[in-house]
Structure 1
Amino acid sequence: MFQDRKKAGERLAALLQERGIRGDIVLAVPRGGLPVGRAVADALGLPLDIVVARKMGAPGNPELAVGAVASDGSVWRNESLIRQLGVDEAYLEEARRREAANAREKFDRYRGGRPDPDLKGRTVLIVDDGVATGATTVACIRQAYSRGAARVVLAVPVAPPESVRRLEGEADEVVAVETPEWFMAVGQFYAEFGQVSDEEAMRYLTPGKDLPGGPEEGS
């Protein structure tokens, strides 16, 4: 479906332009969302920054999300799963504190201690390389609102229809280039989907700085 994250970002930007969706800032989700976000920000002439959230894993099963928390403490809880598993509040609060601290550390490390971007009254485009369950995505959306965003648009190359429907209840608008019914993982829709390192991801925050696959490598 997509050659790589950069090409996916270009197609996403074209769809946003086709729909007349305008924004004031692009917030990409590290790490894989930054190549996509860079392409979108460049095409739309917008500044690029980041939004970070972490999954709150279930007891004994850290890959199963009972919730997610953003770097500012904005939280989403999967209440039905919490009840089903009988997860107590003490566990949830400890997980919230721990993962919020981890998210904040990553946020600060990527941005080098620069002041948080001002989102008050602005239209924010949250961009990732795709959405599967959308647990951490919800926390990212809620963080944007908690920081004063007037409008939040989630924009991704690919997401399953059920996740799009659920996220439409969180954001003002959800834009996805492709919404395949058969969905196992985001990576299955990319020809090239290698892991993005922290060092590479951080370079995307500086426009034109020796980006992989950018003009500097192709010239």
Structure 2
Amino acid sequence: MQNPLNNIVNVTSFIGNSAHSTRRKILFENREDALEKLLSNLPLSFFGQDCIVIGISFEGIYFAYRLAQTLKAPLAFLFTSPILAPNNPECEIAMATETHDVVINEPLVKSFEISLDYIYGEVQRQYEDKMLPLIYQYRKGNPLISFKGKRVLIVDEGIDSGLTAFSAIKSVITLQAKTVHFACPVAPCDVAEIMEEATDGLFCLYRPKNFVDIGYYYRDYPPIEMERIEEIFSKIQGE
């Protein structure tokens, strides 16, 4: 698979409309509804015995878990952490993963005149301060299972800017997966188009042009309970 990831950093400058329209477009009643629709539209037989399912967010881990169960495939979780602008803690300028791969929002970095030294220093700091403690908490400090030569399916409950998704794709390619596919219920049209180039295939139910945010398209979108997250991680460790 060709690797176009060198060309994807610019698309992460996408910013959705932050104002929720009064004529809200409801696509899913809740997460369970979105999951069932996603499952019913996935070519499950396409993924063979060498498939690994990967979750990349706490919000989407239930989707990844259910999909792994359906495929009877191993489930892994890739930890990520945002890199924030030095003078604006609300602004994500890059996303790093536990494999030390990073995807940078180049337009923002150039606009704020942020050095690459700062970004790569933050990658190491985020790994030590945030990701490593989570790896010990949820994976008992164990390394990721091997993706080499495997058909990897990355799953999330939706995509916003694409920073997390693209960083995960980059990590999976670094870890020598045979193929990389991505599945989610909803994603911005602009970002989805680039994801199709960056992967072997994107399975996405809806691709709104005037994207707002993931929760906007769910009628019921409560926070994921930590008990459920911990339960799924305990099942991953028990497999």
* Structure 1 CA distance for aligned equivalents of residues 127 and 142 of structure 2: 19
Query: Does the alignment pair 1:72 with 2:130?
Result: no
What's the counterpart of residue 191 of structure 1? 219
Structure 2 unaligned regions, length at least 5: 1-26
Residue by residue, what CA displacement relative to the aligned partner does 1:32-68 show, whole Å, maximum 9, x if unpaired? 1111112212222222221121111112223322211
Aligned residues of 1:5 and 1:35 also touching (Cα < 8 A)? no
Report the counterpart of residue 46 of structure 2 in structure 1: 21
Does the 8 Å CA contact 2:54/2:154 hold for their aligned counterparts? yes
Alignment-derived partner of residue 169 in structure 1: 197
Change (3 A) 1:206 1:155: same
Q: 3-state DSSP class of the match of 1:162?
A: helix
* Deviation of the 1:90 alpha carbon: 3.2
SS of residue in 1 equivalent to 2:54: strand
Query: What is the identity percentage for the equivalent residue pairs of Structure 1 and Structure 2?
Result: 26
Query: d(CA) in 2 for partners of 1:126 and 1:156?
Result: 9
Post-superposition, which runs of at least 4 consecutive aligned residues in structure 1 deviate over 6 A? Answer: none
CA contact (8 A) 2:188 2:211 kept: yes
Aligned to 1:154: 182
1:179 corresponds to: 207
CA contact (8 A) 1:13 1:44 kept: no
Size of the alignment, in residue pairs? Answer: 207
Kept in 2: contact 1:159–1:179 (CA 8 A): yes
TM-score where L is the length of structure 1? 0.85
* Residue 131 of structure 1: how far off its partner (Å): 0.2
The amino acid of 1:28's aligned partner reads G
Moved more, 55-64 or 149-158: 55-64
Correspondence list, 1:2-151, <5 A: 2-17=28-43, 21-22=46-47, 24-101=51-128, 102-151=130-179
Gaps spanning 5+ residues in structure 1: where?
209-219
Q: Which has the higher contact order (CA 8 A, sep 6+)?
A: 2
Q: CA RMSD in A?
A: 2.0
Q: Is the 8 A contact 1:36 1:127 kept in 2?
A: yes
Alpha-carbon distance in structure 2 between the residues aligned to 1:8 and 1:36 = 9
CA pair 203-170 structure 1, distance change in 2 beyond 3 A: same
Partner amino acid, structure 2, of 1:171: T
State the shift of 1:115 in Å: 4.1
Q: Is the 8 A contact 1:33 1:129 kept in 2?
A: yes
Larger mean Cα displacement after TM superposition, 67-76 or 93-102: 93-102
- Residues 89 and 181 (structure 1), Cα distance of their counterparts in 2 relative to 1, 3 Å cut: closer
